[in-house]
Structure 1
């Protein structure tokens, strides 16, 4: 499957909220597999946000270096 558009920050926020609620609710009813899945989604969202932050910082650094050389 090819994603046409990356998720927006707002969509990631909503996904994180859903995953946190799902984990909490699953833990209340002792549904360990669902709670573990919800936790994994939270970790994936955090990793994606971290990656996007790092890429944006690298692009900014590269751009500033190109302007400094010109």
Structure 2
């Protein structure tokens, strides 16, 4: 069991669910998800996750723009 918080960001909900399942089965309990760059920034500011897995090709604010803001 791992006590780290992971934020997974992707506009494809199927991929988000798959990654969430993978990390959960690996023992991570705190997995956050976001489907947009804007939502990811909000979660990042509020929760300060230990790791972010970030899709770079998203509509609106892409992953590179999110990185510039963090």
Q: TM-score, normalised by structure 1?
A: 0.30
Question: RCO (CA 8 Å, sep 6+): is it higher in 1 or 2?
Answer: 2
Task: Identify, as 1 or 2, the structure richer in helix.
Answer: 1
Task: Identify, as 1 or 2, the structure richer in strand.
Answer: 2
Structure with max Cα Rg? 1
Q: TM-score, normalised by structure 2?
A: 0.30
